[in-house]
Amino acid sequence: MGSKYQQSLWGCLPLWALLLEVALILIFLLFTSYDTSSKDQKDLLGTFRVIQDVILMAALGLGFLNTSLRRHCWSSVAFNLFLLALGVQFTVLLDGFLKQLSLKKIVINLSSVQMATMSATSVLISAGTVLGKVNLVQLVLMMLIELTAFSTTRIVGKKLLNMDNHISMMYIHVFAAYFGLTASYCLPKPPKEMKQETQMATSPSLFAMLGTLFLWIFWPSFNSSLLDLLSERKKAVFNTYYALAVSAVTAILVSALVHSRGKINMIHIHNAVLAGGVAVGPACYLIPSPWLAMLLGLMAGLISILEAKYLSVCFQMLNIHDTYGVHYTFGLPGLLGGIIYVVLMAHQVMWTDISMVRYQVLTNLGALSFSVIMGMVFGLLTGFILSFKIWKPPYVANYFNGRPFWTSPYLAAGY
């Protein structure tokens, strides 16, 4: 079984990926050019710093966050980098063509790379639900479908539902979470007796905590990067930090509280300390006072831990396997953040034009619902396609085992 698993990767991935990379190079050659305007040069330093922060979050943060499985840690980091590198190239072109709806040359600037990098993180989030149960060929196919769906969701939301760049990007968490969960629903489930394969080893668990720390540090930059006004960016940075701080404290304390012997669960710490950053994202520039951001971080931390501890049985009843707890890291906190944004926007409009409150609420709820529905629909479609035997998926017995991918299988085991 192991040899066939390796052969499927050897036979499909290099050819598919090489053809895709050559196609991307040719499209860049024929349809792209760099922006040489002076405005772009003036914004070079500030935008480049934001891009660096986002890349650190995506490559190191999300890469190491998904390394806690003892036999899959090498594959999680490497596949994450592969998807990010390929996804940014694809999204730069996709966003350009979707915006102009023609085959005219796309002008690439730093903002294009920034948006593409942020959009590509949607795949890295969704991959957390299926890692260990799919091969790299399936992940590449998933990346192409998801990035197309997410870019389309953002463009349609901006044109029909008046979503700005910030809000359309902050809904990335709910889109990616429910995309991944519905895709996972269509894949064969690991048997309950595979406990050894899903155990954490000390070193991989420590590296997963390193990923958490990178995300925790750079999350304020992610939440504030698409805001235009300096005052809004300042509020976003402050509120994101306060929400993250409180969710981190809450996650550690509540994790010990819900344990029968008062012990802290490291899996909770890997994920739930980030819930505040996810929840505060959409409304980070609207919150006028630190205590509101802190309250939101407290709620996000509580919801995340309680869902991980008590509500995960619902996913088992629905036959959904979430490898790295994406739902309680990104899904539920993202929904909480979307609802808070709707409330704060309605409150803001109420003081200027009370007759517009109902319209504002319906529009914002529609934007949030649209992102969730698009994620679920395209996730279900993707999961259905990934379940085809043509992709030669790994056997269930080889789930969560990264050894067949590497030339040093014993080192790749993560002991």
Give residue limits of the domains in the chain.
28-35+47-391
Say if CB 61 and CB 215 are below 8 A apart: yes
**pTM for this one?**
0.90
Most confident of 57-61, 346-350, 377-381: 377-381
Note the pLDDT of residue 409.
56
More confident residue, 249 or 197: 249
Instruction: Grade residue 1 by pLDDT with cuts at 50, 70 and 90.
Output: very low
Q: What b-and-e string marks burial along 128-147, b requiring 16 or more CB atoms within 10 Å of the CB?
A: bbbbbbbbbbbbbbbbbbbb
Q: What is the DSSP letter of 289?
A: S
- Is 50 exceeded by the pLDDT of residue 196? no
* 28-35+47-391 is classed CATH 1.10.3430.10: yes
- Is 90 exceeded by the pLDDT of residue 228? no
State phi, psi for 320 to the nearest 5 degrees: -115, 125
pLDDT in tens, 175-188: 999 999 999 999 88
Note the pLDDT of residue 207.
79
Considering the chain, what is the average pLDDT of its residues?
Answer: 85
pLDDT in tens, 218-227: 999 999 999 9
Say if CB 242 and CB 290 are below 8 A apart: yes
pLDDT in tens, 316-329: 777 788 888 899 89
Note the pLDDT of residue 7.
52
- Is 70 exceeded by the pLDDT of residue 342? yes
Q: Nearest to residue 65, comparing CAs of 121, 118, 149, 119?
A: 121
More confident residue, 295 or 74: 295
What residues form DSSP beta bridges with 32?
A: 106
Mean pLDDT of 55-80: 86
